[in-house]
Amino acid sequence: MTKPALEKDGRVPGRGRLENRRVLILGAGQQEYNLEDPPAGNGRAISQLIAREGASTALADLDEEALHATAEMVEGEGVAPIELVGDFANEEDLGRVVSEAADDMNGLDGLVANVGIVGGWGLEQTGAEEWDRVFAVNVRAHYLACRNALPLMDDGSSIVLISSIAAEMPANPVVAYHSSKSALVGLARWLAKEVAPRGIRVNIVVPGLIDTSLGRLASQAVEHREKMPVPLGRQGTAWEVAYATVFLLSDEASYITAQSLLVDGGLVDLR
């Protein structure tokens, strides 16, 4: 008899995999888009699981209400999180968020950048301003977060950037989104080499078709999304993205750096 995959539903107790770690999660909130009973989003599931696995957490987001909702769920895991509101495309704001997180937690061992927006549609309908706005959030924010966090991070720390299969394949017509997510690969590899002498690891989690509120909206906008031939036969959950993130943050991944971990049910490599 097949064992139920409780991990994918976020129903497994913590195992202490991040005990004594201090982790800042950028993009911890969640937009629910007025959906009834919305599924967990990546940022919210990541925040909860990191806390469940024993880490101190600093949660940051642009949307204060969404951030506080995540914080209440993290409190349910037995951790009192720090809540920080900021615009990650703004250099001063992001620097303040990173600095306050490190001050309040007496240092940083982990950074998760779950930051991304969608803008434009195809080449003709994507103006230069829209392109720049997408890159400011989807790439510049990650660069600024790492630049501000690394001087404050202990040796042996871990950074995880959240990307998308849009970096690996043309999944939709949003050219700026695809290009920005691909750019994270170059950033992560450069950073990984730069900080390797300190034992700091930099990796990327690459979600595929994930059942989140945004994913459901995307399925409405792009009809073929629901019909993509995922070898494992279903969409993933935000909890599966969260478990991949926790793995890369933890000492279980102590010899892994500069890698992109696909959480896509085999869609990219087996299509």
Answer whether residue 5 shows pLDDT above 60: yes
Task: Give the residue, 81 or 271, on which the prediction is more confident.
Answer: 81
CA gap 202, 249 in Å, rounded = 9
In the three-class reduction of DSSP (H, G, I as helix; E, B as strand; rest coil), residue 84 is classed as strand
Q: CA-based Rg of the chain, rounded to a whole angstrom? A: 17
Phi, psi of 75 (to 5 degrees): -60, -35
pLDDT of 156-209, one tens digit each?
Answer: 999 999 999 999 988 778 899 999 999 999 999 999 999 999 999 999 999 999
- For the chain, the average pLDDT equals 92
CA atoms within 13 A on the CB side of 88: 32
Mean pLDDT to the nearest integer, 242-257: 98
Of 3.40.50.720, 1.20.58.100, 3.40.50.300, 3.40.630.40, the CATH number of 22-270 is 3.40.50.720
Catalytic residue among 143, 177, 243, 255: 177
Residue 36 contacts by C-beta under 8 Å, 6 or more apart in sequence? none
Model confidence band, residue 38 (pLDDT cutoffs 50, 70, 90): confident
Model confidence band, residue 40 (pLDDT cutoffs 50, 70, 90): confident
Residue 195 contacts by C-beta under 8 Å, 6 or more apart in sequence? 150, 202
Determine the pLDDT at residue 222.
60
Answer whether residue 138 shows pLDDT above 90: yes
CA gap 256, 269 in Å, rounded = 20
Q: Do the beta carbons of residue 104 and residue 80 sit within 8 Å? A: no
Domain limits, the chain: 22-270
Residue 243 contacts by C-beta under 8 Å, 6 or more apart in sequence? 7, 49
Structure tokens at 29: 């909130």
Residue type at position 5: A
Model confidence band, residue 31 (pLDDT cutoffs 50, 70, 90): confident
Active site residue 243: no
Determine the pLDDT at residue 145.
98
CA gap 24, 113 in Å, rounded = 8
Q: Which of 72-86, 99-113, 207-221, 248-262 has the lowest mean pLDDT?
A: 207-221
Q: Which residues of 256-270 are buried (b: 16+ CB within 10 A; e: fewer)?
A: ebbbbbbbbbebbee
Q: Which residues pair with 161 in a beta bridge?
A: 113, 204
Determine the pLDDT at residue 37.
76
